[in-house]
Amino acid sequence: MYAMKILVLGSTGMLGSRIVSELEHRGHQVARGVRPGSGSPGTEVDPRAPASVAAAAAGHDAVVNALGRGTHGDVRVVAEAAVPLLTGLAAAGCPRLLVVGGAGSLVDRDGRRVIDGPEFPDEWKPASQAQIDALDAYRGYDGPVEWTYLSPSDVIEPGRRTGRVELGGDRLLRGEDGTSYVSAEDYAVALVDELENPAHPRRRFTVRSR
């Protein structure tokens, strides 16, 4: 595997930081995208501004969008940045966008979307809906950038990097005991696997830890 040049947006986040670690562990060259004015070390990128995205993405093999709530509680950023990111990457000639997605749009065993299930907490709905809106934007895109959207399991949190993952499509994955779980480290493994060996161009897929 040749070393890729990857820009990671949201590099200071729970998932973004683990994706940076996984990429560096595999010998890839990583640029850390950080919020303008945050003072965090890295490349400042405004993800809602195509020109800012294009300037940062130029010369990279792919961009990872690990944006989320962050320190400012900006839950809408994932939806509002979708089209600007695609526009910016296309302008820069950067061919691929890997999106850290949500689980709310996955279909559960009762046939309902996870966000519509009886146990889905109200306080998570705005962030989950923003991710659903983002996925709709990616699915409606017909430009040159090859996007892929990776939904986690229902529960994703820092844990162990087992490297043993199960992949799925549009349905929530559950183990034999009924739990739907992926460690943040195994999520990063699946995302970097997809970067190295693209298997889901212009599609959503999902992952759980075995």
Ligand X SMILES: NC(=O)c1ccc[n+]([C@@H]2O[C@H](COP(=O)([O-])OP(=O)(O)OC[C@H]3O[C@@H](n4cnc5c(N)ncnc54)[C@H](OP(=O)(O)O)[C@@H]3O)[C@@H](O)[C@H]2O)c1
H helices of 28-124, in order, are 50-57, 77-80, 82-92
Question: Which residue number, 154 or 185, has a Cβ lying nearer to ligand X?
Answer: 154
How many Cβ atoms from other residues are within 10 Å of residue 58's Cβ? 14
Question: Which residue number, 27 or 42, has a Cβ lying nearer to ligand X?
Answer: 42
CB of 91 vs ligand X, minimal distance in Å = 19
Question: Which residue number, 3 or 40, has a Cβ lying nearer to ligand X?
Answer: 40
Question: Which residue number, 4 or 81, has a Cβ lying nearer to ligand X?
Answer: 81
CB of 202 vs ligand X, minimal distance in Å = 20
Q: How far apart are alpha carbons 89 and 51 in whole angstroms?
A: 9
Smallest CA-to-CA distance from 154 within 139, 168, 138, 144 is with 168
Q: How far apart are alpha carbons 125 and 110 in whole angstroms?
A: 19
Question: Which residue has its beta carbon closest to ligand X?
Answer: 13
CB of 206 vs ligand X, minimal distance in Å = 10
Compute, in degrees rounded to 10, the torsion defined by CA atoms 35, 72, 106, 171: 60
Question: Which residue number, 2 or 194, has a Cβ lying nearer to ligand X?
Answer: 194
**113 has which bridge partners?**
107
CB of 74 vs ligand X, minimal distance in Å = 4
CB of 25 vs ligand X, minimal distance in Å = 18
Write out the residues near ligand X by the rule CB under 6 A: 10, 12-16, 35, 38, 47, 66-72, 74, 77-78, 100, 102-104, 127, 131, 152, 154, 156
Phi, psi of 48 (to 5 degrees): -90, -5
